[in-house]
Amino acid sequence: MGSLPDVPIVHNIPVESSGGHRKPNHLNLRTSFSSASNGRVPRVRSDRRRMGSEGKTAPPKVVCGDAGYVLEDVPHLADYLRHLPTYPNPLQNNPAYSVVKQYFVNADDTVAQKIVVHKDSPRGTHFRRAGPRQRVYFESDEVHACIVTCGGLCPGLNTVIREIVCGLYDMYGVRKIIGIDGGYRGFYSCNTIDLTPKSVNDIHKRGGTILGTSRGGHDTSKIVDSIEDRGVNQVYIIGGDGTQKGASVIFEEIQRRGLKVAVAGIPKTIDNDIVVIDKSFGFDTAVEEAQRAINAAHVEAESVENGIGVVKLMGRNSGFISMYATLASRDVDCCLIPESPFHMEGKGGLLAFIERRLKENGHMVIVVAEGAGQELITESMRSVEHQDASGNKLLLDVGLWLSHKIKDHFARNQKMSINLKYIDPTYMIRAVPSNASDNVYCTLLAHSALHGTMAGYTGFTVGPVNGRHAYIPFHRITEKQNKVVITDRMWARLLSSTNQPSFISQKDIEDAKKEDEPPTQLLDKENNHGVGVDFDTSAN
Ligand code: F6P
């Protein structure tokens, strides 16, 4: 790295350069034309895809290589701005990092989406590996970064903010960083918050977000006007799938206007419902904090005759928090999640199971994810669907509904009187600071994001894929949601630990099979959501 030229070099191809000339492509990528002197140009498939509500299109950068290798690449400033100068990465002179062997990521490094494969199956989809590059596209004093948090709260938001600020400051010598106040709509108000390592020093110990947040409020052209007017050239957007869709549209508008502004998304959802990445930040903390509510429910239930503790946990469409909290606790007798429809009455129904478990044990604990059983409630209440400002369906309180149903049932059944306590810790869980493991994870996410923008990548989101951090195109994480697969081994583990009825009908099994990907590869890691990234659902 010491031999790199110090003068700016021109980078006008959408592939990484190193040291001022095109590196030979070690991936042996197939080419579409051979006119480029010695180097081979990778075949870039440009199947245009609709992006955003305004019907604009952005060509995903897809590069195909040998043996079914596919790189789903992310955009780069050099894709639409020709002749941008680059500079040596200041990390070369940073005493903390310069001693690290192989600190800079190799230009050809990519991360495989699937790691368990048949011996003859294609190499499959890959993403560009995250991390610092030898050359950067911004000089330190040129950078004006902004950070915005959107959507519901989640443990770790403050840590991500802190680590973007400290990372930009300490690693890249950036001095101009502002926070946007109160989500997307904060872009078009006058208030911004100056962020320095000093002002963010302790914020990781607090829950919530020091920047404030909101749902909705996304007016693309007003936001990009504001970015332009303020002279911001790096935008860090922390939020869920709706927010990342918004980030994608902002990137497209920036590209359309030809601005040298890099946009990075950091995916946030306490529900862990984001596909492709191993898990979302705050999820570990939520599972851990849920233990306190489950413990309380268990203590209450076992202290009285026929005690029932009902605990509602977050999980609008995906029951990961409930599933992992149940597996971790071992005190839960029944876990209800949105992916597994259940029924109350009759043989095999929930009420019959409760009666049986009370007779056997004298008490029980039920964990229910907020999105579970919504069709049952809607049926019994004939309610009308409403949405929040993010466009999410407003949920009816399944915990309250379930508690009433159980109480009613046993009030009618004279033979057994019960004592039910309902605990709803959802907002308490969401508001806690992130735990130690999430703090480290948030640091890596923040670092991946800022290394990416400094290296000129844009229109990307970050996250670990099979334990390695990668740059992922926005559309890959927003086109569908991550769900618990009830025909997978993890849910089977849960059923075997609680001994609850599976409620799975033959039709559910058929439907789940239909949703499965073609069997080109053995295990889809998209349901591999261990609290540690090396948790292998295929094992055992
Ligand atoms: O998406 C995160 C989440 O916490 C969900 O679990 C929950 O359904 C929703 O947000 C609640 O959002 P609100 O802040 O609007 O109540």
367-389: pLDDT as tens digits: 999 999 999 988 776 655 666 76
Distance 214 CA to ligand 1 centre (A): 11
Name which residue sits closest to atom 16 of ligand 1, judged by CA. 152
Name which residue sits closest to atom 11 of ligand 1, judged by CA. 152
Distance 346 CA to ligand 1 centre (A): 33
Q: How confident is the model at residue 58 (pLDDT cuts 50, 70, 90)?
A: low
Pocket probe for ligand 1: among 153, 215, 268, 314, the residue whose CB has the most ligand atoms within 8 Å is 314
269 lines ligand 1 (CB under 6 A): yes
Cα dist from 537 to 1, 126, 462, 522, 527, whole Å: 41, 21, 23, 12, 8
The answer to whether residue 395 scores a pLDDT higher than 90 is no
Atom of ligand 1 nearest to the CA of 271: 6
Residues with Cβ within 8 Å of residue 250, at least 6 apart in sequence: 220, 223, 224, 227, 235, 237, 263
Specify the pLDDT at position 379. 78
Question: Which positions are annotated as active-site residues?
Answer: 271
The answer to whether residue 535 scores a pLDDT higher than 80 is no
388 lines ligand 1 (CB under 6 A): yes
Beta bridge partners of 112: 126
Q: How confident is the model at residue 51 (pLDDT cuts 50, 70, 90)?
A: very low
288 lines ligand 1 (CB under 6 A): no
Atom of ligand 1 nearest to the CA of 154: 4
Q: Which residue has the higher pLDDT, 394 or 105?
A: 105
Specify the pLDDT at position 382. 61
Pocket probe for ligand 1: among 214, 271, 396, 398, the residue whose CB has the most ligand atoms within 8 Å is 271
Q: Are 396 and 374 in contact (CB under 8 A)?
A: yes
What integer is the mean pLDDT of 484-505?
92
B/e letters for 273-303, b = 16+ CB within 10 Å, e = fewer, are: bbbbbbbbbbbbbbbbbbeebbebbbebbee
Cα dist from 63 to 205, 248, 387, 472, 512, whole Å: 42, 20, 39, 14, 31
Specify the pLDDT at position 383. 56
Distance 243 CA to ligand 1 centre (A): 13
Atom of ligand 1 nearest to the CA of 240: 1
73 lines ligand 1 (CB under 6 A): no
370 lines ligand 1 (CB under 6 A): yes
Distance 490 CA to ligand 1 centre (A): 24
Specify the pLDDT at position 5. 28
Q: How confident is the model at residue 398 (pLDDT cuts 50, 70, 90)?
A: very high
DSSP letters spanning 36-102: SSSS-PBPEE---EEETTTTEEE--EEEEBGGGEEEEE--BHHHHSTTEE-EE-GGGG-HHHHTSTT
Residues 511-533: pLDDT tens digits?
766 665 443 333 344 444 433 33
DSSP letters spanning 322-390: HHHHHHHHS--SEEE-TTS----SSTTSHHHHHHHHHHHHSEEEEEEETTTTHHHHHHHHTPPP-B-TT
